[in-house]
Structure 1
Amino acid sequence: MPPRAEELTPAQIKNLKHPGGKRPVKVAVGGVSGLHIQIWPSGAKSWVLRTRYGEWAERTRADGKIERGRKKREIGLGPYPDVLPGAARDKAREAKAKLEAGIDPIAERKAAQAALIASARRGMTFAEAWEKFAEQKVKEFSTERYRRQWRRTVELYALPELGKMAVQDIGLQDVLRVLTPLWDSKSVTAVKVRERVEKVLAYAAVQGYRKGDNPARWKGNLDMVLPAPSKVAGAENYPALQLDDVARWWQALQGREGMGAKALAFQAMTATRSGAIRFATWDEIDLKAKVWTIQPGRQSSKIPASDTPKRIPLTDDMVALLESLPRLDGSNLVFWAPRGGALSDATMGKVMRAIHEADLKAGGKGFVDAKTGEQAVPHGLRSAFRTWVAERTAFDGDLAEVALFHKVGSKVAQAYNRADQVEKRRHMMAAWGDFLNGKEAEKVVQIQGARHGRLCDY
């Protein structure tokens, strides 16, 4: 048995110095066998327990001799002077008692730390998880404007209800509190909120902040308690012009002056979004080829940066409108505000509202949506175009979807069929222009293609 170390007093331990060199040294302090104070070259000190535990066993040394002993263990007990000598001796006795009982103090400590971390993660709030998720997700978006819009849906509708809740505690009823007030009146927004809440909770699960099923999942979960968004009677659609009012509205628009009226006319003719119109630039437009090309990720185009360029065929009437526009020195914008820069988002809506109010003042019925009775808005022109294609023409519905920049077919079909059918769409948009001007839409004759066994337009 090795000699028992002399028990050092607190003053002696305090005065211990490193003897020199680059390696730490250990000095037995007595009181508990195996307890040492470790001194580093810098002068820092910490407590170490060197002991043996477990069953006695034999092993063969390198020189061939048989050695009998127990497993060695070196356990840190904390820094000095945070842990004073009396406390260090108590911790050493406790550690030795655990080893004798078959408990590894180091493994126990690691398990406790892991449990503490897991507990802290489970305590993370939805708002904290949202910030961590959003910080990475917004990098995928090409414009600051879309980043703000993307964040706003969650911050406006989800955070007030879920923000302070631990992600682990969020259940189906909590998600329903967020979605139910929106589902009937703002279904498009509600779908976006649901998708983003689902992704935040999925992120929290992957990061170890929550366990269990995702309460914002649609299939086999929310679809059991909420109607399909497409079936909701009050689905969030933009108020659209009625087809029987289109020619009358177009005629009223022709009597309006100003860049806002010109931009609204161009939006009606092309059936594009107002953002695409407001930030259109002359370098996007080829008047000779009669094509307007919008690049992916362009401001307010709603075309993702990962998508393909979108080409809009220009009819003779569209080209005539563009050629009539005044140019602004130093600006590449096609439609510009009186003080320079892009038109505001409200400009075209203001023109549309003025037309509606003027018609009411003249004794007319105004220009309202057939279902809701609300005044038609610029984005509703796209709905009017799509309804016209379906109800008044024989143009292929997919052709209209392409014109609206909507995805057509499955993802596999989209990957293989990248044709944008510009010339076919030019014919369709010319017919739409005739309809705006009060002419009856030309019917498209479709016959069976002999070579490919599919419908072809002639």
Structure 2
Amino acid sequence: MARPLNKLTAVAVKNASAGKHSDGGGLWLHKREDGGSQWILRVNVHGRRREMGLGSASDVSLKEAREAAERWRALVRSGLDPIKERQRQRREAARNLHCLDDIARDAFESRKAELKGDGIAGRWFSPLEIHVLPKLGKVPVVDIDQTDIRDVLAPIWHSKAETARKALNRLAICLKHAAALGLDVDLQATDKARALLGKQRHKIENIPAMPWQDVPGFFASLSDGSVTHLALRLLILTGVRSGPLRFLRDEQINGDVWTIPGEAMKGRKGATADFRVPLSDAALAVVEQARQHARDGFLFPSLRKGVISDATMSRLMERAGMEARPHGFRSSLRDWIAEATDTPHDIAETTLGHIVGGAVERAYRRTDFLEQRRQLMARWARHVTGQSGQVITLAKRNHSEP
């Protein structure tokens, strides 16, 4: 015989005395001595009695309690435990509340080992941090679709094409990371956003470089002995990229050779071979001055913490009204080598830290042309510091040279 339902009334609920009052169908009102009250549903699951709370009677009306009780009873009839099902739903809801900001940072942390310098420079994360997270960071990742992505990247899709492309690729990685965490995300959202954004019309431009004939004048202006001036001077004199230079540590220098760890060199992730940079007398003088500013072992520290940034050096040149940027001095050096010397191609490319030749050729090569590069960089230093000289010829040594 079916148990009677709806035995209570709203007035009875309000005026109920302390104790337990049945509404039928396993729904009970538990009124406490202190005046508080709670709805409780009793059900039998696989021969075992279960009790689950449905909320306070002050927050959940009699009608709402009956509706909730019927939903959970329906689950029991289908063979499910309502308490375990509610716990599952809460866990799922909690997972789905992950916002993009949390997912992006977790994805970044999990990929640091794959990035140069373990991602210390922050270039992997910066396209997201600057252009995406300010607008979408607080949005649950499961709610992000192609329209959201299109709207946030449209302002830079053509004007900052490379940055926008990187941001879109990083977003795709974040969505895959969220899916791996069990979140119900749209893995095609970035591809669909790309279709909405259309083809980029922007052409990638080379970083502006200073003509090598103008470098001595600029070098001479870097004369105040500050960290920024010294960093730019050593950048010019060595032709290295700004990353290894900014993170230069005193122990990397032995005599007149600066050894850059292989993993710090662009395009050499996972490489075991370090890269040796010959230091001219002028470069060694800069290093000696930089040691006076050293902090935590770094020769070019920032004012607050860490090391000097790319932006700091770039802003100095920008404030001086120059189009050229720090990275462009590598092109200045390469042009000087081509136009003012008769340096063999392999030596010229090795000077810039470029990988020369195929894997087989590199396997048989036993030299990094250090002696030839030492002569070349000494000649470059004389040019940079305003000393003139004639065109020189550097003979290419045999590949078997130790």
2:355 pairs with 1:385? no
| SS of residue matched to 2:233 | helix
Distance 1:273 1:73, change over 3 A: same
Distance 1:336 1:12, change over 3 A: closer
Distance 1:345 1:133, change over 3 A: closer
Aligned pair partner of 1:312 in 248, 264, 276: 276
Judge conservation of contact 1:122–1:210 (CA < 8 Å) in 2.
Answer: yes
2:239 pairs with 1:266? no
2:203 pairs with 1:233? yes
Aligned pair partner of 1:78 in 35, 41, 52: 52
Judge conservation of contact 1:168–1:209 (CA < 8 Å) in 2.
Answer: yes
- Deviation, 1:420, is 7.8
Aligned residues: 369
Judge conservation of contact 1:281–1:333 (CA < 8 Å) in 2.
Answer: yes
| SS of residue matched to 1:177 | helix
Judge conservation of contact 1:328–1:336 (CA < 8 Å) in 2.
Answer: no
Moved more, 376-385 or 109-118: 109-118
Distance 1:142 1:385, change over 3 A: closer
The C-alpha deviation readout for 1:267-297, integer Å capped at 9, x for no partner, is 212112345445544432222xx31123478
Q: Distance in 2 between matches of 1:97 and 1:216?
A: 40
Give the alignment's TM-score, normalised by structure 2. 0.61
The C-alpha deviation readout for 1:312-364, integer Å capped at 9, x for no partner, is 332544466458748639976657899xx97786775577579x67xxxxxxx
Give the alignment's TM-score, normalised by structure 1. 0.55
Q: Distance in 1 between matches of 2:111 and 2:159?
A: 28
The C-alpha deviation readout for 1:1-42, integer Å capped at 9, x for no partner, is xxxxxxxxx99986xxxxxxxxxxxxxx9x889x9xxxxxxx
Specify the code of the residue in structure 2 equivalent to 1:258: D
Q: Distance in 2 between matches of 1:313 and 1:350?
A: 26
Q: Distance in 1 between matches of 2:159 and 2:66?
A: 69
Q: Distance in 2 between matches of 1:114 and 1:199?
A: 27
Q: Give the equivalent residue in structure 2 for 1:42.
A: none
Judge conservation of contact 2:349–2:356 (CA < 8 Å) in 1.
Answer: yes
Structure with the greater alpha carbon radius of gyration = 1
Aligned pair partner of 2:323 in 372, 375, 387: 375
Q: Distance in 1 between matches of 2:74 and 2:150?
A: 53
Distance 1:375 1:95, change over 3 A: closer
- Deviation, 1:217, is 5.5
| SS of residue matched to 1:213 | coil
Q: Give the equivalent residue in structure 2 for 1:396.
A: 345
Q: Give the equivalent residue in structure 1 for 2:131.
A: 157
Distance 1:323 1:196, change over 3 A: closer
Q: Distance in 2 between matches of 1:195 and 1:414?
A: 34
2:258 pairs with 1:284? no
Q: Distance in 2 between matches of 1:154 and 1:432?
A: 40
- Deviation, 1:212, is 3.9
| SS of residue matched to 1:380 | helix
Q: Distance in 2 between matches of 1:323 and 1:32?
A: 84
Specify the code of the residue in structure 2 equivalent to 1:233: K
Distance 1:188 1:270, change over 3 A: farther
Q: Distance in 1 between matches of 2:140 and 2:102?
A: 9
- Deviation, 1:157, is 0.3
Judge conservation of contact 2:176–2:187 (CA < 8 Å) in 1.
Answer: no
The C-alpha deviation readout for 1:348-390, integer Å capped at 9, x for no partner, is 5577579x67xxxxxxxxxxxxxxxx52222210232345557
Judge conservation of contact 2:367–2:400 (CA < 8 Å) in 1.
Answer: no
Q: Give the equivalent residue in structure 1 for 2:177.
A: 203
Q: Give the equivalent residue in structure 2 for 1:250.
A: 216
Specify the code of the residue in structure 2 equivalent to 1:375: E
The C-alpha deviation readout for 1:220-269, integer Å capped at 9, x for no partner, is 96699434xxx94254x432112xxx134315534763325554332212
The C-alpha deviation readout for 1:108-140, integer Å capped at 9, x for no partner, is 775676566546645644234334444655688
Q: Distance in 1 between matches of 2:318 and 2:292?
A: 27
Judge conservation of contact 1:284–1:294 (CA < 8 Å) in 2.
Answer: yes
Q: Distance in 1 between matches of 2:262 and 2:368?
A: 18
Specify the code of the residue in structure 2 equivalent to 1:285: I
Distance 1:90 1:173, change over 3 A: closer
Specify the code of the residue in structure 2 equivalent to 1:376: A
Specify the code of the residue in structure 2 equivalent to 1:381: F
Q: Give the equivalent residue in structure 2 for 1:361.
A: none
Give the unaligned 5+ runs of structure 1. 1-9, 15-28, 36-45, 52-71, 358-373, 450-454
Distance 1:168 1:425, change over 3 A: farther
Judge conservation of contact 1:48–1:76 (CA < 8 Å) in 2.
Answer: yes
Q: Distance in 1 between matches of 2:290 and 2:90?
A: 68
Specify the code of the residue in structure 2 equivalent to 1:156: I
Distance 1:239 1:420, change over 3 A: farther
Identical counterparts, % of pairs: 24
Judge conservation of contact 2:131–2:152 (CA < 8 Å) in 1.
Answer: yes
2:368 pairs with 1:421? yes
Q: Distance in 2 between matches of 1:47 and 1:174?
A: 43
| SS of residue matched to 1:216 | helix
Q: CA RMSD, aligned part only?
A: 6.0
Q: Distance in 1 between matches of 2:388 and 2:196?
A: 44
Judge conservation of contact 2:350–2:356 (CA < 8 Å) in 1.
Answer: yes
The C-alpha deviation readout for 1:179-217, integer Å capped at 9, x for no partner, is 443344434433432332222111122223234433335
